[in-house]
Copies of this chain bind each other. A is one copy, B any other.
Amino acid sequence: LRIVLDAMGGDNAPKAEVKGAIAAVKAFKEITVILVGKQQEIEKILTEEKAGQEIRARLQIVNATEVVTMSDEPAKAWKQKTDSSLAVAARYVRDGKGDALVSAGNTGAVLVASLFGIGRIAGVQRPAILSPLPSNCPSGITCLVDAGANVDCKPTHLAQFAIMGDLYSKHIFKVEKPRIGIMSVGEEDEKGNELVFATRAITDKLGLNTIGNIEGRDSFNGSADVIVCDGFVGNVILKTAEGAGSFVLGLIKSAVKSGGPIALLGALLMGGAIKLIKKKTDPNAYGGAPLLGIKKPVIISHGSVSSEGVKNALKVAANWVSAHINEAIESEIKKVEFKSE
């Protein structure tokens, strides 16, 4: 399993990427990593990290002279920075020289490079970003799809997100029959907007384990294994949850400050709880968000990804390849006649 890693993508690149690649090949015998980026910088870190012969044998370096930054306009970056680590990595995967792509770079740029550089799975109308949310599900994870790739969606797009999310949840999070919920404003069938009603008309007949409409509060309470929504709503859910979590923790901090030494002692004793929250909500736990619907597995890691996060992303990418999820997506999508949009 040859995973292609954009070594220049994240905020801590290439250090986090190279260290993550070393950790991945150490931990997972089946993985080799193709590091794409500025060769000298990558070599330097390999030396600093004292990567031995055995490790280096499973790390290939491919030189790329340019870097796509977070402020680059995605379409422009794809056209103009043709020798960027991202573009070279995408072409590597397209040409069959690698099995999957991992990047912690500019999300829009990864999306464009995947779409134009690698291409969609036959029948897939729109690729979608799936965000694994910590939740009270038996698996511990609720998959939110689309988390931001498509801000304006048609019902058929959402129906395809449901199919792709179902297969990802099954194979990556080992949920036997993922419960699929359509994000709406109430659980009752008559609650929703036009998009929800039109989507339900399709998804209810797909033969999935659909549980109908769900609400914002179900994002974390474990009511669903897969939540389907357009990318605008998905992005708002992710960021609102982040904001609400920070607000609650901020209130705790301010209460502690004004509560004097006893409350302070309480906060110290609560340290374990805060650690647990950080661990449960750490985006590094799953390494990143899969971009579903592209011919080859693509994982978009958070810009601030750690080396541990990179290692996890490489492992998830490998599992994705092994589980033949993309082949399953192609065959399931083929079974349904989706009106072209």
Contacts and interface: CB of A to CB of B under 8 A. Distances in A.
A251 B273 contact: yes
A275 B263 CA distance: 12
Interface in A267-289: 267-273, 275-277, 280
A262 B271 CA distance: 11
Interface residues of A, number: 60
B185 A231 contact: yes
A233 B286 CA distance: 27
Q: Which of A218, A238, A240 has the most CB of B within 10 A?
A: A240
Contacts of A263: 269-270, 272-273
Contacts of A239: 215-217
Interface stretch (A52-60, A118-126, A161-169, A252-260): A252-260
A275 to B, nearest CB: 8
Nearest to A215: B239
Q: Which of A231, A246, A248, A263 has the most CB of B within 10 A?
A: A248
A39 interface: no
A243 B216 contact: yes
A336 interface: no
A1 B276 CA distance: 52
Interface string A228-239: 001111011111
Given A243-B220, A244-B220, A277 B251 contact: yes
Nearest to A190: B73
Interface of A: 134-136, 148, 151-152, 183-185, 192-194, 215-221, 230-233, 235-252, 254-256, 259, 262-263, 265-273, 275-277, 280
Contacts of A276: 251, 254-255
19 contacts: A135-B247, A148-B185, A151-B185, A151-B193, A216-B237, A216-B238, A216-B241, A220-B243, A220-B246, A236-B236, A240-B241, A242-B244, A244-B248, A251-B273, A255-B272, A255-B277, A256-B270, A269-B269, A270-B270
A240 B133 CA distance: 12
Nearest to A242: B217
